[in-house]
Chains A and B, each alone.
Chain A
């Protein structure tokens, strides 16, 4: 699942550690979510959305498979 975490974080001038502290998770977790290696659980996704003041759908973009020809 792609997400706009890195962009949103940069817009606010936060480091990965800053965001990790706000979410009460590790910097590794933030990095893993940003790079798409890990999809957060629903509670964590809600916390992320609340931290940025945005809807979950505005941050996390569901990957859509290309139509088969």
Chain B
């Protein structure tokens, strides 16, 4: 892990937001799994409980946006933005190409909830891209 991760307060703030959101996400997923039986009918209760993990995901996304805003080191901010661009490009490409494939060929549908994890994996690709082009992967906080 780079020294910038330890030194820059923006990364520390990010982790203070990210870790609790992750714990809440896991808690709500467990709660939904426990409370909502398979093949449950749509109801206010089942929809309400199902939306709770999504709230934690929104906090994750907000925390990432705040990191970009609060990162006052312009070089580190550039590295993070490059990672975001690679992740976004890969995710859009994969989802779009697979989506068109689904229209014409009987391939398994891509679950919508996989898009965000796919984007997060794309951040790792972004780090690799940074390493190969700039020689610096950047922080592994994201």
Contact = CB atoms under 8 A, between A and B. Distances in A.
Contact of B7 (A26, A40, A41): A26
Given A26-B8, A26-B76, A38 B3 contact: no
Interface in A20-62: 24-29, 32-33, 35, 37-38, 40-41, 44
B76 A37 contact: no
A-B pairs with lowest CB-CB distance, top 6: A29-B75, A26-B4, A25-B73, A26-B73, A38-B75, A32-B75
B38 to A, nearest CB: 49
**Most B Cβ at <10 Å: residue of A26, A35, A38:** A26
B30 interface: no
B20 to A, nearest CB: 26
B40 to A, nearest CB: 50
A41 B75 CA distance: 9
B4 A28 contact: yes
Contacts of A28: 2-4, 75-76, 136
